[in-house]
C-alpha cells in the first residue's frame, strides 16, 4: 500500500458503488421509468404547493431538528416526536446507524437479496457484512439466527424486501428479535410498509415501542412520491435517537423536504389513492406476466420481480434490452445476485399494459 497518498479506511475500497436505476432509454421518444419504485401518481399536490412556498426563503437555514415534521409524523402514527429522527432519505439514516454502531471488526447481517445499502453502509465503517441465506427469495429467520456471532452488532432487515417484494409476518419478526442478544441493534427497514395489505404484517412500531434494541426506518421516497427531495425518518428508543442525533449533519434535512413532508404525511386521501392504484395493478401485473409463462415472485410492495429462463433469446438481459427499445425502463438486478431476473415498479395503467404487451412480444407469443 502506498503511503505517499491518503488511504481510505479498510473496507471502503471493497464497496461496489450503488448503481441507481436508469432513467433514460436512448433513441426512444417516450420513456416510462419503472426502475426505482417511484410512485406513478406523483406526490400529493399539497406537498408540491408547500415545496414551492419554500422557494421564497432560500436564504434561511432549515430547522435542524425538523420539529414540525417530526410532530406531523408523530400525529400521523401516534408516536412521541422525541423518538423520531429525520434524514436525507432513509439511506442517510441507515448510514448514520452504521456509523454509530459499527466499527472495525464488527459484523452486520443482511440477507442474500437484501437492500444493497446495507453492505455499503457496513463496509464504510470498516465492519464486515455477513450474508444470511434466504428461502424462496424470502428472509429466513433461522438462517439469520445461525449467522449471529459474538461480533454481530447490527441486523438489517428490509420488510418487505427490495428487490424481491417478499415479507416476513410479524410473528417471524418477533421470533427473530427474541433470538437477538440485547446489545445487537435490529434495523427494520419498512420503506414499502404503506403498500402492504396483509393481516399478519406490521411495520414494527410496536416492537420499537417495547424494546431497547429495535429501530424502524421509513421513507418519503415511495408512496409519498418525494424521492427527489431525499427524506426519511426513523422511530427508535431514546438512547438510539440520541446517538444518531450526535453524529448526523446539523441540517441533514432541507427546508423544502420538511415542508413537503408535512403536507404529504397529512394527505391521507392521496396515500389511499396510491395504495389502491398499487393494489389493483400489482395483482394485474402478477397475473398477466404469470400467464406469459414467466415466474413472478409474489410481492406485497410496489414492484414485481420477474424471473427469466437462462436460455438464449429469452434471458433477463435480452428482455431488458427489448423493453428498453420500447422506452420501458426497468431494473436489472444482477448486483442483487439475481442475474436472471428484472424488477419493474408498478407504473401507470398505460405503462403496465405496455410492459405486458412487450414481454408477450419478446417471448414471441403475440397477443
Ligand atoms: C427505496 C428504499 C429505501 C428508501 O430510500 P431513501 O433513501 O429514503 O430514498 C429504503 N430501503 C429500501 C429497502 C428501499 O427499497
Looking up residue 354, the CATH number of its domain turns out to be: 3.90.1150.10
- Look up the pTM and report it: 0.96
| Residue 125 and residue 115 in one domain | yes
What pLDDT sits at residue 365?
Answer: 60
Backbone angles phi, psi at 80, to 5 degrees: -75, 115
* In-domain check, residue 303: yes
Q: Kindly state the cell numbers that stand for 355.
A: 410492459
Last residue of a domain, one of 247, 267, 287: 267
Last residue of a domain, one of 226, 243, 267: 267
| Residue 158 and residue 257 in one domain | yes
Containing domain of residue 92, as a range?
A: 45-267
**Under a CB-based contact definition with an 8 Å cutoff, are residues 23 and 329 in contact?**
yes
| Residue 111 and residue 205 in one domain | yes
- For a mutational test of ligand 1's pocket, the pick from 19, 39, 88, 90, i.e. the residue with the most ligand atoms closer than 8 A to its C-beta, is 90
**HSE-up of 337 (CA within 13 Å, CB side)?**
10
| Residue 263 and residue 280 in one domain | no
Q: What angle do CA 320, 323, 325 make, to 5 degrees?
A: 110
Put residue 64 in one of left, alpha, beta given phi > 0 → left and psi -120 to 50 → alpha. alpha
| Residue 124 and residue 251 in one domain | yes
* In-domain check, residue 1: no
Q: Kindly state the cell numbers that stand for 26.
A: 436512448
Cross-sheet strand order for the sheet of 84-87: 84-87, 232-235, 214-219, 185-189, 152-158, 107-111, 128-132
* In-domain check, residue 2: no
Query: Ligand 1 pocket by C-beta < 6 Å: which residues?
Result: 37, 89-91, 115, 158, 162, 189, 191, 219, 221-222, 227, 232
The DSSP symbol for 135 reads: B
**Under a CB-based contact definition with an 8 Å cutoff, are residues 48 and 157 in contact?**
no
**Under a CB-based contact definition with an 8 Å cutoff, are residues 126 and 171 in contact?**
no
What pLDDT sits at residue 22?
Answer: 84
Distance CA 314, CA 53 (A): 50
Last residue of a domain, one of 267, 290, 323: 267
Q: What is the distance in A from the centroid of ligand 1 to the CA of 269?
A: 23
| Residue 74 and residue 221 in one domain | yes
Q: Which residues of the chain have pLDDT under 50?
A: 366-367
| Residue 33 and residue 49 in one domain | no
| Residue 197 and residue 285 in one domain | no
Number of domains in the chain: 2
What pLDDT sits at residue 267?
Answer: 98
| Residue 38 and residue 116 in one domain | no
Domain CATH code at residue 201: 3.40.640.10
* In-domain check, residue 64: yes
Beta carbons within 8 Å of 324's beta carbon, 6+ residues apart: 25, 28
What pLDDT sits at residue 27?
Answer: 84
**Each residue of 90-102: pLDDT tens digit?**
999 999 999 999 9
DSSP letters, 59-88, are: TSPP-TT-HHHHHHHHHHHT--GGGEEEES
| Residue 117 and residue 254 in one domain | yes
What pLDDT sits at residue 137?
Answer: 98
* In-domain check, residue 4: no
Q: What is the distance in A from the centroid of ligand 1 to the CA of 365?
A: 36
What pLDDT sits at residue 366?
Answer: 41
| Residue 337 and residue 347 in one domain | yes
Beta carbons within 8 Å of 293's beta carbon, 6+ residues apart: 363, 365
What pLDDT sits at residue 355?
Answer: 98
**Under a CB-based contact definition with an 8 Å cutoff, are residues 161 and 117 in contact?**
no
**HSE-up of 116 (CA within 13 Å, CB side)?**
14
* In-domain check, residue 5: no
Q: What is the distance in A from the centroid of ligand 1 to the CA of 142?
A: 25
Residue owning the nearest CA to atom 5 of ligand 1: 90
| Residue 86 and residue 121 in one domain | yes
* In-domain check, residue 190: yes
* In-domain check, residue 3: no
Amino acid at each position: 500500500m502506498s503511503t505517499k497518498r491518503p488511504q481510505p479506511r479498510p473496507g471502503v475500497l471493497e464497496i461496489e458503488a450503488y448503481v441507481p436505476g436508469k432513467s433514460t432509454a436512448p433513441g426512444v421518444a417516450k420513456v416510462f421509468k419503472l426502475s426505482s419504485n417511484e410512485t406513478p401518481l406523483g406526490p400529493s399536490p399539497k406537498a408540491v404547493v408547500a415545496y414551492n412556498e419554500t422557494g421564497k426563503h432560500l436564504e434561511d437555514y432549515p430547522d435542524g431538528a425538523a420539529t414540525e415534521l417530526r410532530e406531523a409524523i408523530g400525529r400521523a402514527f401516534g408516536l412521541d416526536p422525541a423518538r423520531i429522527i429525520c434524514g436525507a432519505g432513509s439511506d442517510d439514516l441507515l448510514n448514520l446507524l452504521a456509523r454509530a454502531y459499527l466499527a472495525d471488526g464488527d459484523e452486520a447481517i443482511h440477507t442474500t437479496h437484501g437492500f444493497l445499502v446495507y453492505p455499503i453502509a457496513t463496509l464504510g465503517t470498516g465492519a464486515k457484512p455477513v450474508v444470511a441465506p434466504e428461502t424462496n427469495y424470502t428472509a429466513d429467520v433461522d438462517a439469520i439466527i445461525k449467522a449471529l456471532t459474538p461480533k454481530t452488532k447490527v441486523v438489517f432487515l428490509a420488510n418487505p424486501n427490495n428487490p424481491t417484494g417478499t415479507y416476513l409476518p410479524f410473528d417471524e419478526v418477533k421470533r427473530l428479535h427474541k433470538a437477538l442478544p440485547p446489545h445487537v441493534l435490529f434495523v427494520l427497514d419498512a420503506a414499502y410498509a404503506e403498500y402492504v395489505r396483509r393481516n399478519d404484517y406490521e411495520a414494527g412500531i410496536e416492537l420499537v415501542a417495547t424494546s431497547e434494541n429495535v429501530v424502524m426506518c421509513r421513507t418519503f421516497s415511495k408512496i409519498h412520491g418525494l424521492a427527489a427531495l431525499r427524506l426519511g425518518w426513523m422511530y427508535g428508543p431514546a438512547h438510539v435517537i440520541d446517538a444518531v442525533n450526535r453524529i448526523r449533519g446539523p441540517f441533514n434535512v432541507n427546508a423544502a423536504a420538511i415542508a413537503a413532508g408535512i403536507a404529504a404525511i397529512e394527505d391521507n386521501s392521496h396515500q389511499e389513492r396510491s395504495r389502491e392504484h398499487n393494489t389493483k395493478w400489482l395483482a394485474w401485473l402478477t397475473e398477466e406476466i404469470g400467464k406469459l409463462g414467466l415466474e413472478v415472485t409474489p410481492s406485497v410492495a410496489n414492484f414485481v420481480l420477474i424471473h427469466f429462463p437462462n436460455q438464449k433469446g429469452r434471458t433477463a438481459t435480452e428482455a431488458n434490452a427489448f423493453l428498453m427499445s420500447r422506452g420501458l425502463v426497468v431494473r436489472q438486478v444482477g448486483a442483487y445476485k439475481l442475474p436472471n431476473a428484472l424488477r419493474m415498479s408498478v407504473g401507470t395503467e398505460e405503462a403496465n399494459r405496455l410492459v405486458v404487451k412487450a414481454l408477450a412480444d419478446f417471448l414471441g407469443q403475440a397477443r
